[in-house]
Chains A and B, each alone.
Chain A
């Protein structure tokens, strides 16, 4: 069995969409799904037997630093055979929601987003706190599309986006075909 270990429902929805878009119909399951930190905890609790029986693909957000997140994840993985990808594009800081928002290209075009950006700036100016982009995406999908982010992402047209992640997932399934280990 192939397991995608992800932080939450939005990650799950995107992976499902990508697999569908790529036409991959292998059996797979999702694990983790308990928020920030659940991916690493899941990996730490895997037994040798589970690792030998299944294939695991871990996906986390880079958040403030891609290199720090990569180092922490690699330390957690150790010598376990686990594939991984770090949002948004496996090289820059950020999170899945940045990727989604950039792919739909609505910044300063959509009324909800414009309001949200003003609100974000106001909070920053008033109490010097940043608001994560997951809240912006939530505002956009619930107000403009009457859907939760995961429902919106599941049906999003992604033919021309998410190339890095698509490539990594393609590699995973190609490697499975030839039984190569993750590197």
Chain B
């Protein structure tokens, strides 16, 4: 894929979490998202994460991952099954519509009325019969293709003929859940590597990252970076536990500080991606401010080499300053800063600053958060 071809430039979000109708754009290769607490920075990034799904099931798989990641504690307490979670996801997001402008349709630099949205997916509930229909990229999803099989209460495999004889595009909630669950259950973590939240104890994710680094011949490069930054000689799973080798001795990764562990996740994920996207929530999480320049240097350099579009959120003024400083040092102008705010009518808005504005505002000490 040639450089930047897959990069998202604009987005429109309707009825997703805190967004009723929200448009923004002018995205670059690396995009940092700021704004006050609880303004919707993470939800905004989640919407883009969902948009980059390539299928309905991947989109719902990602919704499940997001819900799991955001509500981990609550879910552990409730003991909800995946089916229960899917049910709540469908009911919560039945009007969801995340769209993108078609390439080349915009007639000026602003994201205006001519913005044409192409929904990634939406689910609608018919008011009369209470049945649901799903559309992906404006096309109705037919879920009766192929033979669908599931296990009955005794564990025997049985086919459900009636299920795929449905002639319309409308389904009951239970069938929708069964369909989605059957498609999602085998690959719960297969795409999770590109959405990095604050759960540093996700050993499944770390194991997958390290596995992918080995498969992609990036494992040595990964260890070299860690050695240069933290004198870590090696990181691997030993007896199913994540271990780091320092001074020729292995120790559990939990002995490292949160900042180093965050950087391990960012670096490992980025190195395995090509022509892809990465989403990092609260990028400064646990990282000492003196290491922020190293983090941005890694992200800006590797994302350029691997042609990866980066979306990250931050609360930190130091993190924004570091972002601007390192981009200037590397002469990398393919960066943006998306500032989210509420206007006087309490509507959610955003403004995207380009490289020049970021540098100017930094020098003038204008607060970008």
Contacts and interface: CB of A to CB of B under 8 A. Distances in A.
Interface stretch (B61-69, B326-334, B361-369): B361-369
A31 B364 contact: yes
Contact of A31 (B339, B343, B344, B365): B365
User: Main SS of the interface on chain B?
Assistant: mixed
B56 to A, nearest CB: 37
For chain A, which range describes its interface: under 10, 10 to 19, 20 to 34, or 35 or more residues? 10 to 19
B351 A34 contact: no
A38 interface: yes
A47 B300 CA distance: 26
B364 A34 contact: yes
B349 A49 contact: yes
Contacts of B366: 31, 42, 45-46, 50
Given A45-B357, A47-B351, A52 B364 contact: no
A20 interface: no
Contacts, number: 28
A38 B366 CA distance: 12
A159 interface: no
Nearest to A38: B364
Contacts of A41: 360, 364
Contacts of B361: 45
A58 B365 CA distance: 16
Interface in A22-50: 31-32, 34, 38, 41-42, 44-50
A34 B363 contact: yes
For chain B, which range describes its interface: under 10, 10 to 19, 20 to 34, or 35 or more residues? 10 to 19
B7 interface: no
A44 B361 CA distance: 10
Contacts of B343: 49, 52
Contacts of A34: 363-364
B119 to A, nearest CB: 28
Interface in B331-360: 339, 341, 343-344, 349, 351, 357, 360
A104 B367 CA distance: 38
Contacts of A48: 351
Given A46-B366, A47-B351, A52 B344 contact: yes
A32 B364 contact: yes
Contacts of A45: 357, 360-361, 364, 366
Contacts of B363: 34
A42 B364 contact: yes
Contacts of B344: 52
B42 to A, nearest CB: 21
A41 B356 CA distance: 12
A84 to B, nearest CB: 17
Q: 9 tightest A-B contacts by CB? A: A45-B360, A42-B364, A49-B341, A47-B351, A45-B361, A45-B366, A45-B364, A41-B364, A52-B344
26 contacts: A31-B364, A31-B365, A31-B366, A32-B364, A34-B363, A34-B364, A38-B364, A41-B360, A41-B364, A42-B364, A42-B366, A45-B357, A45-B360, A45-B361, A45-B364, A45-B366, A46-B366, A47-B339, A47-B351, A48-B351, A49-B341, A49-B343, A49-B349, A49-B351, A50-B366, A52-B343
Interface of B: 339, 341, 343-344, 349, 351, 357, 360-361, 363-366
